[in-house]
């Protein structure tokens, strides 16, 4: 099988050895470890993602970037639905992607998706020289820091078509949840810290991260994720919307700067008057 590109931006120790540096042995692959590693639910959750994007208006002629495509649990469904050449996938783990490409995609699916449309990269490099009408990151933001989310939105902003939508799932915390609290135990007996893998976020966290791109943010919420992750929609602004947004930003900042200038000049006036009176 041809080799998927592994684009490394800095030759250094991986910051996520539990994921990007994970290598799958032949024994693990034979036992389906590459399926379980992406969260299991192999027979249902991939189709669920396709059904969701179709409900949001995705058509076969649209281009889709699958962020965190893994071993193509959802990618195989996306490829079948989309026109040839319209599926693109990135993931931090090269071993996982290559295993999925070799074993989980059919010859027909590989023909529909050039291997040049796939890339292993742990810094959200989805620049394949095209713009996307749709993008999805399922169970990605639940495993990365807020800095990574900011980076993802910053980089995706550069390759998203105006008006295109990026859908990302995340574990949500209510605004009243204490920052230092530990989450309730899960069915396997584990508890989670907010600041560790798995990561939990407030809606406001994702809205803040979106300010590093030209995004309109819409909370969708429950969409049937098997682990209860919520959905957030990020829609790329059009050129007109970007211009209006920047004009509004300037307008809101102007009064503060004007007041500062007035205070500065008023201070100078008081000092001038004082000197005159003391002569």
Quickly list DSSP for 146-183: HHHHHHHHHHHHTTEEEEEEEEEEEEE--TTS-TT-BP
Determine, yes or no, domain membership for 198: yes
Residue range of the domain that includes 113: 5-237
The helix/strand count (H/E) of the chain reads as 9, 9
Whether 268 is in a domain gets the answer no
Structural domain contains residue 250: no
**Do the domain assignments include residue 63?**
yes
Tens digit of each residue's pLDDT, the chain (279 residues):
899 999 988 765 555 556 777 777 778 777 666 767 766 677 788 999 999 999 999 999 999 999 999 999 999 999 999 999 999 999 999 999 999 999 999 999 999 999 999 999 999 999 999 999 999 999 999 999 999 999 999 999 999 999 999 999 999 999 998 888 887 766 666 677 778 878 999 999 999 999 999 999 999 999 999 989 999 999 999 999 999 888 887 877 766 665 565 456 555 555 544 554 455
Strands 64-67 and 230-236: unpaired
Q: What is the CATH number of the domain that holds 39?
A: 3.40.50.150
Asked whether residue 76 is assigned to any structural domain, the reply reads yes
Closest CA to 150 of 210, 217, 201: 210
Q: How many domains does the chain have?
A: 1
Task: Please state the pTM of the whole predicted model.
Answer: 0.83
Give the pairing type, strands 200-201 and 160-172.
parallel
Domain assignment present for residue 249? The answer is no
92 in any annotated domain: yes
66: region left, alpha or beta (phi > 0 left; psi from -120 to 50 alpha)? beta
Interatomic CA distance for residues 225 and 90, integer angstroms = 21
- Establish if 254 belongs to a structural domain: no
């Amino acid at each position: 099988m041809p080799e998927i590109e592994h684009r490394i931006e800095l030759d250094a120790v991986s910051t996520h050895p539990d994921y990007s540096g994970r290598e799958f042995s032949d024994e693990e692959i034979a036992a389906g470890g590459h399926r379980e590693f992406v969260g299991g639910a192999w027979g249902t959750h991939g189709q669920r993602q396709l059904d969701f994007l179709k409900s949001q208006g995705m058509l076969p002629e649209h281009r889709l970037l699958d962020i965190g495509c893994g071993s193509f649990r959802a990618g195989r469904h996306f490829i079948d639905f989309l026109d040839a050449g319209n599926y693109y996938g990135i993931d931090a783990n090269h071993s996982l992607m290559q295993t999925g490409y070799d074993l989980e995609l059919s010859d027909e699916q590989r023909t529909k998706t050039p291997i040049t449309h796939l890339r292993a990269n742990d810094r959200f490099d989805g620049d394949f020289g095209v713009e996307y009408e749709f993008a999805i990151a399922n169970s990605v933001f639940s495993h990365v820091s807020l800095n990574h989310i900011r980076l993802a939105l910053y980089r995706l902003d550069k390759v998203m078509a105006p008006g295109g939508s990026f859908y990302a799932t995340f574990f949500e915390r209510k605004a009243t949840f204490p920052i230092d609290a530990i989450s309730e135990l899960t069915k396997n007996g584990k508890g989670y810290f907010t600041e560790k893998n798995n990561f939990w976020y407030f809606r406001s966290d994702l809205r803040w991260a979106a300010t590093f791109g030209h995004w309109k943010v819409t909370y969708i919420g429950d969409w049937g994720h098997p682990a209860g992750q919520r959905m957030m929609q990020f829609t790329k602004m059009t050129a007109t919307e970007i211009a209006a947004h920047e004009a509004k930003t300037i307008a809101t900042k102007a009064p503060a700067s004007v007041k500062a200038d007035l205070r500065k000049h008023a201070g100078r006036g008081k000092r001038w008057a004082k000197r005159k009176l003391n002569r």
